[in-house]
Structure 1
């Protein structure tokens, strides 16, 4: 694969793929079943350490 072919792929399909991946990462915390897990992660630093 030549440099020009890789550049063409990155400019077209690579950009589309990275955009879809970015949107999936942004939407993942807002899915329906994630509220409890996100709240636990947010409050984890306030819990007492039981192991000393």
Structure 2
């Protein structure tokens, strides 16, 4: 593959894929019920063994 072709691919489609992944990760973190799991995970370092 030519360098210019790979750069064009990275500049367009890889950027779109990364943006979709970012939006998906945010949506996954803000899904219903995730607040309880986040609170439990935040308390783990404070628990006595």
Greater C-alpha radius of gyration: 1
Gaps of 5+ in 2: none
C-alpha deviation, 1:33, in angstroms: 2.4
> Which residue of structure 2 lines up, in the alignment, with residue 43 of structure 1?
43
Deviation at 1:23, TM superposition (A): 1.4
TM-score w.r.t. the length of structure 2 is: 0.83
- TM-score, normalised to structure 1, is 0.79
Residue pairs, 1:9-48, within 5 angstroms: 9-48=9-48
Question: Quick one: distance in 1 between partners of 2:11 and 2:42?
Answer: 38
More contact order relative to length (CA 8 Å, sep ≥ 6):
1
4+ aligned runs moved over 3 Å, structure 1: none
**RMSD of Structure 2 on Structure 1 (CA):** 1.1
Name the count of aligned residue pairs: 49
